[in-house]
Amino acid sequence: MSSPAGPGNGLPVRMPRPRQPGRHRRPEPLSAPEGAPALVLAVPGPSCASARALAEELVSLVRADLPGLDARFGFLEAAGDEPDATLDQVLAQAPDAVVVPLLAGPDAEFLGRFRQVLTESQSSARLTEVLGPHPLLAEALHVRLSEAGLARADRARLFTVATAADGIILAVRGGEEALEAAGITGVLLAARLAVPVMTAALDVEGSVRHVAGQLRSSGAQRLAVAPCVIGPEVSPELLVGASTEAECAGAEALGAYSSVGKLVLNRYTSALGLDTAQLRAPAR
């Protein structure tokens, strides 16, 4: 026989921990609202193993941040015998989805193709804004540069890296609009690294070389290319070519970095007009 004071056999009882009052109390876990539409990650380009792995990891990050969310991904086109679902196939299963383009910045070509798929699907799906510009992209760029040994890992620490770049080429694709948007992220990155950052177009011949020349003429000695792209929207050869053109080292594409996952979820919740208060788990 046990009692509120303890069990009859003398063993301790795990009692419910009282909720901690005040500002130190733990926040309630988030969860997707009941009946929330699916989040569909629109992956540019054809499917391939690397793009599939990246999309799967991002979807996993989003689900971890918002349990209960129906999160999926679809490619613009399937390639060869790849079993991946295309965007139109995913929308046939989730016609009221919120579609988040996996693009760091505006890209007229891919956005036009995404919109065409949504129109032809005759669904009520909505397409959100692209992921950037945003401070979280600057954070991700900083991390990729530091991973490559091209920037200080922590701007708060007062040490330097011998190979750290003193001039950054922020490489994007998508035309003039993409360059303009990336300029905002570039300002944020420059503030983090305390070095000049200039944007260049990956898809315009000679752009990277021209910007590299401008940085060197202004006194920069050690340049680095920072691709402001997620990955699937450009070929690996294009990124290698950018570093070759600039005659310097380069960081990896942003990929499935955690900040990218947070931006994907941010675009989804913003499209639905939700805030974190509306995503709290229901009281029991």
Non-local CB neighbours of 8 within 8 Å, separated by 6+ positions: 1, 2
pTM of the model: 0.84
Report which residue type is found at 31: S
Task: Give the N- to C-terminal CA distance of the chain in Å, as an integer.
Answer: 29
Using alpha carbons, select from 259, 135, 148 the residue that is nearest to residue 187: 135
- pLDDT, one tens digit per residue, over 131-141 is 999 999 999 99
pLDDT at residue 84, rounded to an integer = 76
Angle between helices 258-271 and 135-147 (to 10 degrees): 170
User: SS3 sequence, 165-203?
Assistant: CCEEEEEECCCHHHHHHHHHHHHHHHHHHCCCEEEEECC
- pLDDT, one tens digit per residue, over 115-174 is 999 999 999 999 999 999 999 999 999 999 999 999 987 644 444 555 689 999 999 999
Average pLDDT along the chain, 284 residues, taken 10 residues at a time = 44 46 54 90 92 96 95 89 84 96 96 97 96 96 95 58 85 94 96 96 95 97 97 94 96 96 96 70 44
d(CA 200, CA 225): 9
pLDDT at residue 80, rounded to an integer = 67
In sequence order, the β-bridge partners of residue 151 are none
pLDDT at residue 107, rounded to an integer = 96
In degrees and rounded to multiples of 5, residue 145 shows phi and psi of -65, -40
pLDDT at residue 12, rounded to an integer = 42
d(CA 215, CA 222): 10
In degrees and rounded to multiples of 5, residue 247 shows phi and psi of 55, 50
**Could you check whether the bond before residue 133 is cis, i.e. omega within 30 degrees of 0?**
yes
pLDDT at residue 79, rounded to an integer = 78
pLDDT at residue 159, rounded to an integer = 45
pLDDT at residue 1, rounded to an integer = 45
